[in-house]
Amino acid sequence: MAAPTRASRGTGSARRPQLSDEVAAHLRGSIMSGELRPGDFVRLDETASELGVSVTPVREALLTLRGEGMVESVPNRGYVVAPFGSGDVADVFWLQGRIAVELALRVVDRAKETDLDRLDELNQTLAAAVSSSRGGDPDIERIADAEFVFHRELNRLANSPKLAWFLGSAARNTPYRLYAGDIGWGERAVESHRRLIAALRTRDRDAVRGETLSLFDDAAKRLVAHLERVGFGSAE
Protein backbone atom coordinates (compact mmCIF):
# COMPACT_ATOMS: atom_id res chain seq x y z
CA MET A 1 0.00 0.00 0.00
CA ALA A 2 1.00 3.60 -0.24
CA ALA A 3 0.98 3.89 3.50
CA PRO A 4 2.82 4.71 5.55
CA THR A 5 3.82 7.58 3.36
CA ARG A 6 5.28 10.71 4.83
CA ALA A 7 3.10 13.44 3.46
CA SER A 8 5.83 16.04 3.67
CA ARG A 9 7.86 14.09 1.12
CA GLY A 10 5.18 14.21 -1.54
CA THR A 11 5.65 11.79 -4.42
CA GLY A 12 9.34 12.15 -5.05
CA SER A 13 9.62 15.88 -5.64
CA ALA A 14 12.97 17.42 -4.79
CA ARG A 15 11.23 20.39 -3.20
CA ARG A 16 12.21 20.77 0.42
CA PRO A 17 9.06 20.58 2.54
CA GLN A 18 7.96 23.80 4.15
CA LEU A 19 7.78 23.85 7.93
CA SER A 20 4.03 24.31 7.71
CA ASP A 21 3.85 21.12 5.58
CA GLU A 22 5.61 19.19 8.30
CA VAL A 23 3.31 20.60 10.99
CA ALA A 24 0.27 19.72 8.87
CA ALA A 25 1.59 16.17 8.41
CA HIS A 26 2.08 15.82 12.17
CA LEU A 27 -1.44 17.04 12.90
CA ARG A 28 -2.97 14.79 10.23
CA GLY A 29 -1.28 11.81 11.81
CA SER A 30 -2.47 12.83 15.28
CA ILE A 31 -6.03 13.22 14.07
CA MET A 32 -6.19 10.02 12.04
CA SER A 33 -4.59 7.95 14.81
CA GLY A 34 -6.95 9.28 17.47
CA GLU A 35 -4.42 11.27 19.47
CA LEU A 36 -6.52 14.31 18.62
CA ARG A 37 -10.22 13.53 18.67
CA PRO A 38 -13.24 15.11 17.02
CA GLY A 39 -14.18 18.14 19.09
CA ASP A 40 -10.67 18.65 20.50
CA PHE A 41 -9.27 22.15 20.14
CA VAL A 42 -5.87 22.50 18.49
CA ARG A 43 -4.16 25.28 20.41
CA LEU A 44 -1.67 27.35 18.45
CA ASP A 45 0.69 28.05 21.35
CA GLU A 46 0.60 24.51 22.73
CA THR A 47 1.18 22.92 19.34
CA ALA A 48 4.01 25.31 18.52
CA SER A 49 5.69 24.57 21.86
CA GLU A 50 5.26 20.80 21.43
CA LEU A 51 6.84 20.86 17.98
CA GLY A 52 9.49 23.46 18.74
CA VAL A 53 8.33 25.90 16.09
CA SER A 54 6.81 29.35 16.00
CA VAL A 55 3.08 29.95 15.86
CA THR A 56 3.17 31.00 12.20
CA PRO A 57 3.71 27.53 10.61
CA VAL A 58 1.10 26.09 12.96
CA ARG A 59 -1.41 28.69 11.83
CA GLU A 60 -0.56 27.99 8.18
CA ALA A 61 -0.89 24.24 8.75
CA LEU A 62 -4.31 24.67 10.33
CA LEU A 63 -5.48 26.74 7.37
CA THR A 64 -4.39 23.86 5.12
CA LEU A 65 -6.21 21.30 7.28
CA ARG A 66 -9.33 23.44 7.33
CA GLY A 67 -9.29 23.37 3.52
CA GLU A 68 -9.05 19.57 3.70
CA GLY A 69 -11.99 19.36 6.11
CA MET A 70 -9.92 17.95 8.96
CA VAL A 71 -10.41 20.89 11.30
CA GLU A 72 -13.04 23.59 11.62
CA SER A 73 -12.64 27.22 12.59
CA VAL A 74 -14.64 28.33 15.64
CA PRO A 75 -15.02 32.14 15.87
CA ASN A 76 -12.99 33.62 18.70
CA ARG A 77 -11.92 30.17 19.89
CA GLY A 78 -9.56 28.77 17.27
CA TYR A 79 -9.61 25.42 15.49
CA VAL A 80 -11.36 22.21 16.46
CA VAL A 81 -10.94 18.71 15.02
CA ALA A 82 -13.81 17.99 12.63
CA PRO A 83 -16.06 14.95 13.08
CA PHE A 84 -14.94 11.75 11.38
CA GLY A 85 -15.73 8.07 11.71
CA SER A 86 -15.28 4.62 10.26
CA GLY A 87 -17.01 5.68 7.05
CA ASP A 88 -14.38 8.37 6.51
CA VAL A 89 -11.60 5.85 7.14
CA ALA A 90 -13.16 3.51 4.58
CA ASP A 91 -13.42 6.34 2.06
CA VAL A 92 -9.77 7.34 2.50
CA PHE A 93 -8.53 3.82 1.82
CA TRP A 94 -11.08 3.12 -0.91
CA LEU A 95 -9.73 6.08 -2.87
CA GLN A 96 -6.10 5.12 -2.29
CA GLY A 97 -6.78 1.51 -3.24
CA ARG A 98 -8.44 2.33 -6.55
CA ILE A 99 -5.69 4.70 -7.64
CA ALA A 100 -3.02 2.23 -6.52
CA VAL A 101 -4.66 -0.55 -8.53
CA GLU A 102 -4.57 1.52 -11.71
CA LEU A 103 -0.90 2.33 -11.15
CA ALA A 104 -0.03 -1.31 -10.45
CA LEU A 105 -1.82 -2.47 -13.59
CA ARG A 106 0.20 -0.01 -15.63
CA VAL A 107 3.34 -1.52 -14.13
CA VAL A 108 2.20 -4.90 -15.49
CA ASP A 109 2.46 -3.51 -19.00
CA ARG A 110 5.70 -1.59 -18.58
CA ALA A 111 8.01 -3.25 -16.07
CA LYS A 112 11.08 -5.19 -17.15
CA GLU A 113 12.57 -8.07 -15.21
CA THR A 114 15.34 -5.79 -13.96
CA ASP A 115 12.68 -3.40 -12.61
CA LEU A 116 11.01 -6.21 -10.73
CA ASP A 117 14.38 -7.36 -9.40
CA ARG A 118 14.82 -3.84 -8.03
CA LEU A 119 11.42 -4.02 -6.33
CA ASP A 120 12.44 -7.33 -4.79
CA GLU A 121 15.61 -5.73 -3.41
CA LEU A 122 13.63 -2.87 -1.91
CA ASN A 123 11.20 -5.31 -0.31
CA GLN A 124 14.12 -7.18 1.20
CA THR A 125 15.23 -3.88 2.74
CA LEU A 126 11.77 -3.53 4.28
CA ALA A 127 11.89 -7.14 5.48
CA ALA A 128 15.22 -6.50 7.19
CA ALA A 129 13.86 -3.40 8.91
CA VAL A 130 10.82 -5.29 10.16
CA SER A 131 12.86 -8.31 11.24
CA SER A 132 15.34 -6.20 13.20
CA SER A 133 12.46 -4.69 15.16
CA ARG A 134 11.01 -8.01 16.27
CA GLY A 135 11.09 -8.47 20.02
CA GLY A 136 11.86 -4.83 20.72
CA ASP A 137 10.72 -1.34 19.93
CA PRO A 138 9.99 -1.03 16.20
CA ASP A 139 12.36 1.21 14.27
CA ILE A 140 9.47 3.30 12.97
CA GLU A 141 11.48 5.66 10.79
CA ARG A 142 13.50 2.87 9.18
CA ILE A 143 10.39 0.82 8.42
CA ALA A 144 8.50 3.85 7.12
CA ASP A 145 11.46 4.84 4.93
CA ALA A 146 11.69 1.36 3.42
CA GLU A 147 7.95 1.18 2.74
CA PHE A 148 7.96 4.64 1.19
CA VAL A 149 10.88 3.85 -1.13
CA PHE A 150 9.28 0.58 -2.27
CA HIS A 151 6.04 2.29 -3.31
CA ARG A 152 7.82 5.27 -4.78
CA GLU A 153 9.66 2.89 -7.11
CA LEU A 154 6.50 0.94 -7.91
CA ASN A 155 4.68 4.15 -8.80
CA ARG A 156 7.64 5.37 -10.86
CA LEU A 157 7.46 2.22 -12.97
CA ALA A 158 3.86 3.04 -13.83
CA ASN A 159 5.14 6.14 -15.62
CA SER A 160 2.01 8.06 -14.64
CA PRO A 161 3.26 11.00 -12.54
CA LYS A 162 -0.08 12.79 -12.31
CA LEU A 163 -1.85 9.70 -11.07
CA ALA A 164 0.98 9.03 -8.61
CA TRP A 165 0.61 12.60 -7.39
CA PHE A 166 -3.09 12.03 -6.67
CA LEU A 167 -2.22 8.87 -4.75
CA GLY A 168 0.38 10.77 -2.73
CA SER A 169 -2.16 13.45 -1.92
CA ALA A 170 -4.69 10.86 -0.74
CA ALA A 171 -2.02 9.07 1.31
CA ARG A 172 -1.35 12.20 3.35
CA ASN A 173 -4.22 11.12 5.59
CA THR A 174 -2.49 7.87 6.49
CA PRO A 175 -0.89 7.85 9.98
CA TYR A 176 2.40 6.27 8.92
CA ARG A 177 3.80 6.01 12.45
CA LEU A 178 0.83 3.90 13.53
CA TYR A 179 1.45 1.35 10.79
CA ALA A 180 5.23 1.35 10.95
CA GLY A 181 4.98 0.70 14.68
CA ASP A 182 2.88 -2.42 14.11
CA ILE A 183 5.15 -5.40 13.43
CA GLY A 184 2.17 -7.47 12.34
CA TRP A 185 1.41 -4.90 9.67
CA GLY A 186 5.06 -4.85 8.61
CA GLU A 187 5.24 -8.61 8.23
CA ARG A 188 2.03 -8.64 6.22
CA ALA A 189 3.30 -5.83 3.99
CA VAL A 190 6.48 -7.75 3.20
CA GLU A 191 4.58 -10.93 2.26
CA SER A 192 2.05 -8.96 0.23
CA HIS A 193 4.84 -7.22 -1.67
CA ARG A 194 6.35 -10.61 -2.48
CA ARG A 195 3.06 -11.85 -3.88
CA LEU A 196 2.58 -8.63 -5.81
CA ILE A 197 6.03 -8.89 -7.41
CA ALA A 198 5.35 -12.52 -8.34
CA ALA A 199 2.06 -11.49 -9.96
CA LEU A 200 3.83 -8.72 -11.86
CA ARG A 201 6.40 -11.21 -13.17
CA THR A 202 3.67 -13.46 -14.56
CA ARG A 203 1.56 -10.47 -15.71
CA ASP A 204 -1.39 -11.83 -13.74
CA ARG A 205 -3.60 -8.74 -13.74
CA ASP A 206 -6.28 -10.25 -11.51
CA ALA A 207 -3.70 -11.19 -8.87
CA VAL A 208 -2.11 -7.73 -9.06
CA ARG A 209 -5.51 -6.10 -8.59
CA GLY A 210 -6.50 -8.38 -5.72
CA GLU A 211 -3.20 -8.09 -3.87
CA THR A 212 -3.19 -4.31 -4.13
CA LEU A 213 -6.76 -3.93 -2.89
CA SER A 214 -6.19 -6.36 -0.02
CA LEU A 215 -3.45 -4.14 1.39
CA PHE A 216 -5.76 -1.14 1.60
CA ASP A 217 -8.65 -3.16 2.99
CA ASP A 218 -6.33 -4.48 5.70
CA ALA A 219 -5.05 -0.99 6.46
CA ALA A 220 -8.59 0.36 6.87
CA LYS A 221 -9.52 -2.49 9.23
CA ARG A 222 -6.39 -1.96 11.31
CA LEU A 223 -7.06 1.75 11.68
CA VAL A 224 -10.71 1.28 12.64
CA ALA A 225 -9.70 -1.38 15.19
CA HIS A 226 -7.08 0.96 16.62
CA LEU A 227 -9.59 3.79 16.97
CA GLU A 228 -11.96 1.46 18.77
CA ARG A 229 -9.19 0.42 21.17
CA VAL A 230 -8.41 4.02 22.06
CA GLY A 231 -12.03 4.78 22.85
CA PHE A 232 -13.74 5.81 19.64
CA GLY A 233 -16.41 3.14 20.08
CA SER A 234 -17.23 2.13 16.52
CA ALA A 235 -15.08 5.03 15.27
CA GLU A 236 -18.22 6.90 14.21
Are 7-81 and 86-232 in the same CATH fold? no
Calpha distance 79→47 (Å, rounded)? 12
Domain at 7-81, CATH from 1.20.1110.10, 2.60.40.1120, 3.40.190.10, 1.10.10.10: 1.10.10.10
Compute how many other C-beta atoms are within 10 angstroms of the C-beta atom of residue 89.
22
Identify the bridge partners of residue 41 per DSSP, sorted by sequence position: 80
- CATH architecture assigned to 86-232: Up-down Bundle (1.20)
pTM: 0.84
Which among 148, 170, 143, 189 is positioned nearest to 9, based on CA atoms? 148
The answer to whether the CB of 227 falls within 8 A of the CB of 84 is: no
Which among 153, 145, 84 is positioned nearest to 116, based on CA atoms? 153
The answer to whether the CB of 184 falls within 8 A of the CB of 178 is: no
Q: Provide the residue ranges of all domains of the chain, joining segments of one domain with +.
A: 7-81, 86-232
Please report the pLDDT score of residue 233 as a whole number.
53
Could you state, in chain order, the average pLDDT of each consecutive group of 10 residues for the chain (236 residues)?
47 58 93 92 94 95 95 93 90 95 97 98 97 86 95 97 94 90 94 98 98 94 91 59
3-state SS, residue 219: helix
Calpha distance 188→165 (Å, rounded)? 25
Please report the pLDDT score of residue 18 as a whole number.
85
3-state SS, residue 233: coil
